[in-house]
Every structure is written in structure tokens, then in C-alpha cells.
Amino acid sequence: AQTLFVSAPGKVILHGEHAVVHGKAALAVAVNLRTFLKMAPRNDGKVSVELPNVGARLCWETSELQPLVVAFSADQTESQPPSPEQIEKLKEFAGFTNRAAATQSLATLAFLYLYLSIASKCGFMPSVDILVWSELPTGAGLGSSAAYSVCLAGALLSGCRVISYPLEEGQSVGRWPEEELAVINSWAFRGEQVIHGNPSGVDNAVGTRGGALRYQAGKICSLKSVPTLRILLTNTLVPRSTKVLVAGVKDKLMKFPAIMEPVLTSIDAISQECERVLEAMAARPSLEHYPVLEELIDVNQHLLSVVGVGHSSLDQVCQATASHGLHSKLTGAGGGGCAITLLRPDTAPSVVEAAIRDLSDCGFECWETDIGALG
């Protein structure tokens, strides 16, 4: 047995948030803030998991997990979502009550679910040390739980030899072939279901495959080729409820259908136009595409304010970056949360530094990173 390393990117929505809830297209792209996993063999029959980002450190004897593996194999069929009974069993085992589970407890449940399900499938329980750490903030809509589930699925499936590990001794970068990515993605989706109940599957698809994808009416379609774009990612740290914001958009749509429906149709057209530009850029990289992308960002930010998901903190991001000639929009649910700012390949480091300084002065967290990253 060898030590395995796996990593997966987070995601941002480039265009189409909220509109996607009403059957329009959304473009989700991998963001190169990653989650990393190291899995090392141990020889004492124990399984340990350490998650420094959420302050969790867990250790079990594989013998105490054995009865659960048996229970899992009894009610498991391929591609079946985690059942409420399985989750109850895991909560009982881990000593969690029915209260709304904290991030730490959800991460533990997802680990136990994937470990037990994969162990029951392959017929043995690996004794391993697992360490997972992340550059992604949790609960910011950046797909941190999906990146976690993708890393766990990739490592456990490889460790249990359900799929092969694509790295030879001494190699530092490798990728799984498409068939194995599909297996990882389906298990990662089940991890996401443990954490989120009924997720769309977009986050784990981006975390597994990277690049960009279009999501519409429950269908996920990977874009063939996407350029890597530099961005600033800003977390305003303003808390918001996605549920409340989504409900607010629905109310507006019901109250003023003739006004709001065309706004959502416009957002849909922005996603389609952006997809065309990204494909053209991938085929023929040129700075001439940037003004188009910037204009689409500006227009969509205004439209999102019209549907009621703007926030003064997001306006501050737009103003602060505009003063340096940069273009920003909210990403995800809005009402605070995160924003993205497009950088050009030739945006000078001094401009980026000045923008980051201004955003930090507003009390925001800011990262320079890439979108369209590898899965």
C-alpha cells in the first residue's frame, strides 16, 4: 500500500445563478482554490481522519466499524442515494443528535458513509490515516463540501482498488481516465447528498472534472474546452440565506411576471453568449475577447440587482474594483457572500495589489486565483 494524494477544485458560478432555478442555463467553473487529501496506510487496524479546517480529529478501530459495514452492504445498491435510515445509523454511531448538524458533524457523516459503502463494496476495510485540508472557505457557496467528497471518493476508491490510482512512484501530477472520473463523481455525489440532502450535482461534477459546465433543467454538460482565466475572488463575509434569496426572486417573478421573466431570459442569454466567447477564446486566445466578457459581467450584475439579490457589500466590491478598471459581479446566491472580478492576462500586479488592498480595507477576504482549473 502506498501513500495517496488527491486534490479537487472548488467552483464558482460565472453566470446564471437564480435564473437556473427557473429552468435557465448556468455556467459553473472550477476555481483553483483546492482541497487536498493525503491517505497513508497504517498497520494497527485503525482509521483516522483529520480535518484541520473544521477542527475535527477522529479515530476508530476498523473492528468497531465492522457491524456498520455489514448493515450497509445489506441495504446498498449501486447509485442508490443514502437512505434516511443509513444516515440515522451513522448519527447514532457517531453520537450526533438530530439537531441541525454542524459542518464538522456533516463532514464526519460523509466520511463514514463513503468509507463504509466503499468498504462494503470492495470487501475489506483499509486501515489508513486520512488528512484533508483546504484553501476553500466553508459555507461560502464555493463548493468546499463537494471538493471534500471528491477527494474522499478518489482516495477511498483507489485505496480499495475499485479504481486504479493514476500516479506512479515519483510522479507528481496525474489524472484519472474518463470512466474512473465518472465513478468518482457518482460517489462524490452521494457524499454531497449526505451533507446537503438534495443537491443538484453541479458542484461535485465541477470538482471531479474541473473546467466549466453548463447546467440546465437538471442536465449537466461539460464544455469541451475552456480557457484558464485570472480572477479575484472576494468573500464579503456578509452572511445570507440562499433559501430566503431564492424565495425572494420567486415572489418577484410571481408578482411581476411580465417584468421579471424577460430579466431571467436576458440572464440566460448572457450565459449562452459567455459560453460562446469562452469556446472562441479556448480555440483562439486573444485579448479582444476580454471587453465582451467584462461587459457581460457588468450587465449581469445589474440584472441580478434587479431581481433583488444585490447587496451594498457587493456594490462596494464593484465600485472598489471599477476604480482600478476592473469588472465584478456576485457569484452564487448574492445578498452578500462572494463576488468575482475578471483580470486580464496583462493586468499589472500593481493594479491587482491595489484592488486587493481596497477590498481588504472594506473588511473583505480576497484571493487571486484562476477559473477553468483542472479537476
- Choose among 240, 225, 207, 206: nearest CA to 310: 240
Residue 333 as a binder of ligand MEV (CB under 6 A): the answer is yes
For residue 342, what are the β-bridge partners? 231, 327
- Cβ proximity to ligand MEV: between 39 and 202 the closer is 202
- Cβ proximity to ligand MEV: between 41 and 139 the closer is 139
- Listed ranges 10-18, 43-51, 86-94, 205-213: which one lies at the site for ligand MEV (CB under 6 A): 10-18
Task: Provide the annotated active-site residues.
Answer: 145, 203
Please say whether the beta carbons of 244 and 304 come within 8 A.
Answer: no
Give 152-170 as a DSSP string. HHHHHHHHTTSS-----TT
Residue 68 as a binder of ligand MEV (CB under 6 A): the answer is no
- Choose among 146, 278, 280: nearest CA to 213: 278
Residue 299 as a binder of ligand MEV (CB under 6 A): the answer is no
- Cβ proximity to ligand MEV: between 165 and 215 the closer is 215
* CA dist., res. 178 & res. 176, Å (int): 7
Residue 332 as a binder of ligand MEV (CB under 6 A): the answer is yes
* CA dist., res. 237 & res. 313, Å (int): 9
- Cβ proximity to ligand MEV: between 14 and 188 the closer is 14
Q: Which string of x and - marks every residue 122-141 that binds ligand MEV (by CB under 6 A)?
A: -------------------x
Residue 242 as a binder of ligand MEV (CB under 6 A): the answer is yes
- How many C-beta atoms surround the C-beta of residue 118 within 10 A? 23
Q: Please give the size of the binding site for ligand MEV, defined by CB under 6 A.
A: 10
Residue 21 as a binder of ligand MEV (CB under 6 A): the answer is yes
- Cβ proximity to ligand MEV: between 20 and 107 the closer is 20
- How many C-beta atoms surround the C-beta of residue 212 within 10 A? 27
- Listed ranges 15-23, 87-95, 231-239, 361-369: which one lies at the site for ligand MEV (CB under 6 A): 15-23
Please say whether the beta carbons of 332 and 235 come within 8 A.
Answer: no
C-alpha cell at 117: 459503502
Binding residues (CB under 6 A) for ligand MEV: these are: 13, 17-18, 20-21, 141, 242, 246, 332-333
